[in-house]
Copies of this chain bind each other. A is one copy, B any other.
Amino acid sequence: MPAAQRRELILDAATGVFGDRGYHGTTTDQIAKAAGISQPYVVRLFGTKEKLFLDVLDRALQTMLVAFRAALADDGSGYPLQKRLGETFVDLVSSKGVHRTLLQAFVSGGDAEIGRFARAGFLDVFRFLRDEAGFTDVEVDEFLAQGMLFSVLLSLELPRTFGTDPDGDALMRAVFGAKCAMVLDVMGPGAS
């Protein structure tokens, strides 16, 4: 298999594992096994574990921004932009690990290198909302807040425990609303 294609496979696998366990919590061997190759090959293709994480982070951000820009361009549906971008964000659960990996990066602000990239990435999203989507300060605040709560609940693995605690179910419904079923389909108890 050509190296470029192998890299994509590894980035996919790494997005999942890093999202699960965070930067320090995942080993290059876990990523290698998830990608079906050997551990030394992972580090040879990316240099270091840190560079791999930064590549994964960059890819996750691009995935999100590309989806946002597509939603912005397709303004057919008629209902508010904030709603449309919100749904676009939620729909990203199908790109497994993107939300959770981004959040793992965002909580790594204390790390010098990862922190710089994470802050820059967050600001990219901010600028998109303000400058391209035309959001007001309040709209930006509300949108980011909902996005962060959504991501935290995913990282908490609350969807996976759905049905085991009535309060957990109530919280899920309060936050995810109409999208609850869709989230449970991808991240629920039975999901891979």
Contacts and interface: CB of A to CB of B under 8 A. Distances in A.
A interface, over-half SS? helix
Interface stretch (A16-24, A42-50, A73-81): A16-24
A144 B175 contact: yes
A123 interface: yes
A176 to B, nearest CB: 10
B22 A122 contact: no
A110 to B, nearest CB: 4
A158 B123 CA distance: 10
Nearest to A21: B110
A118 interface: yes
Number of copies: 2
Interface residues of A, number: 50
A148 interface: yes
Interface in A113-143: 115, 118-119, 122-123, 126-127, 130, 137-138, 140-142
A107 B22 contact: yes
Contact of A156 (B20, B106, B152): B106
Contact of A167 (B127, B141, B158): B127
A170 B123 CA distance: 10
A165 B22 contact: no
Given A122-B158, A141-B149, A145-B175, 4 more contacts: A25-B111, A106-B156, A126-B167, A148-B149
Interface of A: 20-25, 100, 103-104, 106-111, 115, 118-119, 122-123, 126-127, 130, 137-138, 140-142, 144-149, 151-152, 155-158, 160-161, 165, 167-168, 170-171, 173-175
